[in-house]
Amino acid sequence: MEFEAQVIAAYGRHVRVRDDTGRIVQARPFGRRLQVVCGDRVRCNEDATHAEVHVTEILPRRTLLARATLRGDAEPVVANLSLLVAVMAPAPMPDLFIIDRYLCAASSAGIKALVLVNKCDLVPDIDLSALTQSFETADYPILICSAETGRGLETLNEFLRHETSVFVGQSGVGKSSIIGRLIPGVELATGELDRDAEGRHTTTSSSLHDLPDGGHVIDSPGVRDFAPSIDSLEARSLGFPEVDQLSTGCRFSDCQHLQEPGCAVRTAAEVRQIDERRYESYRRLRRLHADLTTAQGPGRKRS
Ligand SMILES: Nc1nc2c(ncn2[C@@H]2O[C@H](COP(=O)(O)OP(=O)(O)OP(=O)(O)O)[C@@H](O)[C@H]2O)c(=O)[nH]1
Ligand SMILES: [Mg+2]
Ligand SMILES: [Zn+2]
């Protein structure tokens, strides 16, 4: 029997799918080439005699968040998103470059994004502003919240309503805790919980959950680093909206905004019209982009 379903959890070569009647079953992608991820719409084939469900086809994705492997290939992370929520917190020590890279992956993939600062109960508001300051010239919505006290969660709920969103960020920032507060009684894949070196619980696979007021949210495992897939990035701005806006003022239309004369972006960074840290992040990503392109090699197919 054939049916269509949505992938609501993905761990390695196993996925959990939900069909349109709400029935949830385990399934296995048929063949090595199918890279099925959370959020995918798929066609399944149920073998009545073996009681085994195979995913036989991934239906066209509306959007895809993809990361670059060390060889420069694109690896799908989550599909069919409309909103990416980049989560950080005063602790663990934030790595803002990771946030930048998620934001540019979202921007390049046509996915809206917002920056969410959790654990606002831990430090005074002025310290939180210092954390988020560099994202202001990039014009992303910035929300402050606490899964502990509940502050900011109503506003967050408004942003998430009717969206299919993913929570991404470093391990321990509170992604699962926030989702747990938004969806009372949600089971956050407790069977898939593991303990990291510091003894904290860590989410190890992505899972999709229904929000009470409509929309879906995907919890994802924390990361140490994230590189957007290079094929998905816009050549001109690499997905930095503030670079995009200024680049029409550059002397050369193929300006990479590094050392070129007449570069409007570099000038804007020098006079702090755009944030210096974000510009440095752009430069690092430009280097990574070049390295990964080389790693891909000339013989490899580019899309
Ligand atoms: N003080 C405070 N602690 C929080 C808050 N939110 C989460 N925590 C704590 O932070 C720790 C990590 O929370 P998780 O929700 O597991 O973090 P995560 O981002 O899902 O981590 P991974 O699954 O490893 O990526 C837990 O001990 C939480 O209790 C908050 O708003 N304030
Ligand atoms: Mg988690
Ligand atoms: Zn330029």
Ligand 1 close to Cβ of residue 207 (< 6 A): no
Distance 220 CA to ligand 1 centre (A): 13
In terms of DSSP H, where are the helices of 46-152?
A: 96-109, 125-136
CA pair distance 12, 34, nearest whole angstrom: 12
Flag whether the pTM goes above 0.75: yes
Distance 203 CA to ligand 1 centre (A): 11
More confident residue, 231 or 280: 280
Residues 92 and 206 in one domain: yes
Domain boundary among 58, 78, 93: 58
Residues 179 and 199 in one domain: yes
Ligand 1 close to Cβ of residue 181 (< 6 A): no
Ligand 1 close to Cβ of residue 221 (< 6 A): yes
Residues 104 and 13 in one domain: no
Ligand 1 close to Cβ of residue 174 (< 6 A): yes
- Residue 124 buriedness (CB in 10 A; 0-12 / 13-18 / 19+): exposed
Residues 161 and 184 in one domain: yes
> In this structure, which ligand is nearest to the CA of 245?
3
What is the pLDDT confidence band of residue 31, given thresholds at 50, 70 and 90?
Answer: confident
Which stretch of DSSP H or E encloses residue 83? strand 83-88
Inform me whether the pLDDT recorded for 197 exceeds 80: no
Give the tokens for residue 120: 């606002």
The mean pLDDT of the chain is 90
Locate tokens 């510009």: which residue? 279
Residues 44 and 71 in one domain: no
Distance 257 CA to ligand 2 centre (A): 37
Distance 203 CA to ligand 2 centre (A): 4
What is the tally of structural domains in the chain?
3
Inform me whether the pLDDT recorded for 227 exceeds 50: yes
Give the tokens for residue 32: 């090595």
> In this structure, which ligand is nearest to the CA of 269?
3
Per-residue pLDDT averaged across 45-51, rounded?
80
- Structural domain range at position 155: 64-219
Distance 70 CA to ligand 1 centre (A): 29
Ligand 1 close to Cβ of residue 204 (< 6 A): no
Looking at the domain assignment, is residue 301 inside a domain? no
Inform me whether the pLDDT recorded for 133 exceeds 70: yes
For ion ligand 2, residues whose CB falls within 5 Å: 175-176, 203
Locate tokens 């430090």: which residue? 123
Looking at the domain assignment, is residue 303 inside a domain? no
Ligand 1 close to Cβ of residue 14 (< 6 A): no
> In this structure, which ligand is nearest to the CA of 170?
1
Inform me whether the pLDDT recorded for 196 exceeds 90: no
Q: Which atom of ligand 1 is nearest to the CA of 167?
A: 19
Residues 175 and 266 in one domain: no
Give me the pLDDT at residue 102, please.
97
> In this structure, which ligand is nearest to the CA of 267?
3
Name the region of 46 (left: φ>0; alpha: ψ -120 to 50; beta: rest): beta
CA pair distance 265, 267, nearest whole angstrom: 5
Strand partners, 64: 79
What is the pLDDT confidence band of residue 136, given thresholds at 50, 70 and 90?
Answer: confident
Residues 68 and 205 in one domain: yes
Give me the pLDDT at residue 193, please.
40
**Length reported for the chain:** 303
Ligand 1 close to Cβ of residue 201 (< 6 A): yes
Residues 246 and 203 in one domain: no
Q: Which of 69-73, 89-93, 196-200, 245-249 has the lowest mean pLDDT?
A: 196-200
Residues 186 and 112 in one domain: yes
Ligand 1 close to Cβ of residue 192 (< 6 A): no
